[in-house]
Amino acid sequence: MNEFKPLFLILTWKQVGNRIIRKRIHVRMEHVQPSRCTEEFRLRKVKNDQLKAEAKARGEVISTKRQPEGPKPGFKVEGVKLETVTPIPYDVVNDLKGGY
């Protein structure tokens, strides 16, 4: 009789010092869930295929590459009073005496 039937064996690699060892972990079925790491990629692939088919029907060529967001648009700041700021003059004599 196999007592590990409802379990999964997970093999991972762990670096210990200057070597890499294999770790074996037994996990019950209720603690395992499918990976969602490629979910967004699969949805994007289906969407890109649809966009390519529509563009091909129109006789166009489109790019399905992801583009960076880019800079935010510029704007003007209005209704602000300008204030001129000048530094306090440095007094060498008072600084040598130990303060003001």
Please check the confidence at residue 52 and state whether its pLDDT lies above 80: yes
Please list, in sequence order, all residues whose beta carbon lies within 8 angstroms of the beta carbon of residue 52, skipping any fewer than 6 positions away: 62, 64
Distance CA 40, CA 33 (A): 17
Please check the confidence at residue 40 and state whether its pLDDT lies above 60: yes
Q: Could you tell me which of 42, 45, 48 has the C-alpha nearest to residue 63?
A: 48
Model pLDDT, residue 61: 94
Model pLDDT, residue 91: 75
Question: Using alpha carbons only, how large is the chain's radius of gyration in Å?
Answer: 33
Q: Across residues 63-73, what is the average pLDDT?
A: 95
Where residue 70 falls (left for φ over 0; alpha for ψ -120 to 50; beta otherwise) is left
Please, what is the average pLDDT of the chain? 88
Please check the confidence at residue 4 and state whether its pLDDT lies above 80: no
Please check the confidence at residue 64 and state whether its pLDDT lies above 70: yes
Binning pLDDT at 50, 70 and 90, where does residue 5 land? confident
